[in-house]
């Protein structure tokens, strides 16, 4: 079963392709998504990487948590599910 990883402390120069290449060293990568600002499109410094297997997930965490990429020490751990009833994208102005 595929597992999603949170990858934090990314350089603003990091690309989805470079993350794909790095994490492929731990196993099959299903998807990579660098999160960007809605208004500017700028990289927000974190991403989600989905690994195809539990073994690939464990290997990626062991190998890459604290790994130096683009002059930054990245943080890698299992992504937590967003709680339901969370932010909906609109904010109350009251």
pLDDT at residue 73 tops 90: yes
- pLDDT for 24 equals 98
Phi and psi, residue 41, nearest 5°: 80, 5
Amino acid 92: pLDDT: 43
| CATH placement of domain 3-78 | 3.30.70.330
Question: What's the whole-model pTM score?
Answer: 0.84
**Which H or E run contains 73?**
strand 72-73
Token output for 56: 């690939």
């Amino acid at each position: 079963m595929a597992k999603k990883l949170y990858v934090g402390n990314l350089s603003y120069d990091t690309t989805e392709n470079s993350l794909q290449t790095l994490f492929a060293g731990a196993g099959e990568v299903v998807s990579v998504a660098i999160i960007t600002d809605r208004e500017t499109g700028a990289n927000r410094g974190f991403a989600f990487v989905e690994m195809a297997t539990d073994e690939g997930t464990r290997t990626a965490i062991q190998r890459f948590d604290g790994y130096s990429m683009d002059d930054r020490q990245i943080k890698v751990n299992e992504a937590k599910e967003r709680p339901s009833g969370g932010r909906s994208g609109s904010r109350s102005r009251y």
